[in-house]
A and B are shown apart, each in its own frame.
Chain A
Amino acid sequence: MTDRIATLIARAEQEGLLDVAYATADSPVGTLTLAATSKGLVRVSYYDTDRVLEELAGEISPRVLAAPGRLDGVRRELDEYFNGRRRDFDVAIDWSLVHTPFRRAVLERTARIPYGKTATYRDMAEAAGNRAAVRAAGSALGANPVPVVVPCHRVLRTGGDMGQYAGGVERKRYLLELEQARP
């Protein structure tokens, strides 16, 4: 990044014009696109960066800029996690991309599943206050805007079947093996 652009980003931040900052991070499960608002981490995605940025421009604000500084903390924590040196993430989350209270409840509950443990979709539905809404809990997890950091990979089908994962079941298996997860 040239000084010219770095100056612009710094001034945009000062003037409150940097609505969405993004950066990419290499990881053992592929390149992650990370985005944060002034409130916190708003998106972690396995998808192609351009697609993620378009989604953010439409859903949050078109003032989307490459500003890796705001993502330094979460990038460091992800590095530590993938190296087996971190079990919990300590970053503020902006839940703007989660549109219903039920989904938010499911994800907040999911965020509390300990490292190395797993839970079931039914557990999450129940914890969010609707034991019958197993399918809806699955959808909430499938739409998790901040995977890895909110560990939806720790949620399995009753009986231990992998179930699904937005980043693909291979990635889910990798993360569970990294954590040596057991139910």
Chain B
Amino acid sequence: MSGRRSSGVTLPPFQTLLDEHADTVLRYLRAAVGANEAEDCFQETFLSALRAYPKLRDASNLRGWLLTIAHRKALDAHRARGRRPVPVEQVAEVTVTDDRRAEPALWRAVRRLPAKQRSAVFLRFAADLDYVQIGQAIGCSDAAARQNVRAGLAQIRKGWAR
């Protein structure tokens, strides 16, 4: 069961991941799926992480690892929402107010972007990942990650200027 003995990697106690990264993961998820769904995604993210943790082979970027899981949970939530006739924007409007850094209207605009751009912009600005980490999270090169961020921002600026 031991991280050290089974894989040669010394894994810190999982509590450290919660203490250090729970806020970042929550901030990212609130931006990516809205405050309400962020709560479910937060639970799913950390339960998945806890399940996989003892077998993790590289403990050098635990924050990036958690955000990659959070990103997958956000995608699941987006897909589920696509199948459900729920007025998500109204819900988000009243609830995404306690995080000053996440300007709700702006994040809502980001949530309307095509999937790859949306993910790339959130991971860059809500989660503060670099382009290499974003590429790993969404499965593309760092150059493509950068391009997706750029295209997403251009799209939002266009909408803002109207």
Contact residue among B3, B4, B18, B26 (Cβ-Cβ distance under 8 Å from A65): B18
- Given contact pairs A62-B53, A63-B53, A8 touches B14 in the complex (Cβ within 8 A): no
Contact residue among A7, A8, A64 (Cβ-Cβ distance under 8 Å from B13): A64
Q: Indicate if the CB atoms of B13 and A54 lie closer than 8 Å.
A: yes
Closest Cβ of chain A to B66, distance in Å, is 13
B86 CB-CB contact with A under 8 Å: no
Chain B 1-29, CB-CB to A under 8 Å as 1, else 0, gives 11111000011111110100010001000
A15 to B43 alpha-carbon distance, docked (Å): 13
B84 CB-CB contact with A under 8 Å: no
Q: Indicate if the CB atoms of B47 and A65 lie closer than 8 Å.
A: no
Q: Indicate if the CB atoms of A8 and B47 lie closer than 8 Å.
A: yes
Q: Indicate if the CB atoms of A59 and B2 lie closer than 8 Å.
A: yes
- Given contact pairs A11-B43, A17-B50, A53-B15, A61 touches B10 in the complex (Cβ within 8 A): no
The contact size tier of chain A is 20 to 34
- Given contact pairs A4-B39, A19-B1, A57 touches B12 in the complex (Cβ within 8 A): yes
A56 to B15 alpha-carbon distance, docked (Å): 12
A66 CB-CB contact with B under 8 Å: yes
A8 to B11 alpha-carbon distance, docked (Å): 20
Q: Indicate if the CB atoms of A63 and B54 lie closer than 8 Å.
A: yes
The contact size tier of chain B is 20 to 34
CB contacts (< 8 Å) of A91 on chain B: these are: none
CB contacts (< 8 Å) of B15 on chain A: these are: 22, 53, 64-66
A64 to B54 alpha-carbon distance, docked (Å): 11
CB contacts (< 8 Å) of B4 on chain A: these are: 57-58
Closest Cβ of chain B to A52, distance in Å, is 9
A158 to B138 alpha-carbon distance, docked (Å): 67
Contact residue among A5, A15, A54, A61 (Cβ-Cβ distance under 8 Å from B18): A5
Closest Cβ of chain A to B5, distance in Å, is 8
A174 to B13 alpha-carbon distance, docked (Å): 32
CB contacts (< 8 Å) of A22 on chain B: these are: 15
B42 CB-CB contact with A under 8 Å: yes
Q: Indicate if the CB atoms of B1 and A60 lie closer than 8 Å.
A: yes
Q: A62-B13, A63-B54 are in contact. List 14 more A-B contacts (CB 8 A).
A: A7-B43, A15-B51, A17-B47, A17-B51, A22-B15, A53-B13, A57-B12, A59-B2, A61-B2, A61-B3, A62-B3, A62-B53, A65-B15, A65-B18
- 20 A–B contact pairs at CB < 8 A? A4-B26, A4-B39, A5-B22, A11-B43, A11-B47, A17-B51, A22-B15, A53-B16, A54-B12, A57-B13, A58-B3, A58-B4, A58-B10, A61-B54, A63-B14, A63-B50, A64-B14, A64-B15, A65-B13, A65-B14
B residues lining the A interface (CB < 8 Å): 1-5, 10-16, 18, 22, 26, 39, 42-43, 46-47, 50-51, 53-54
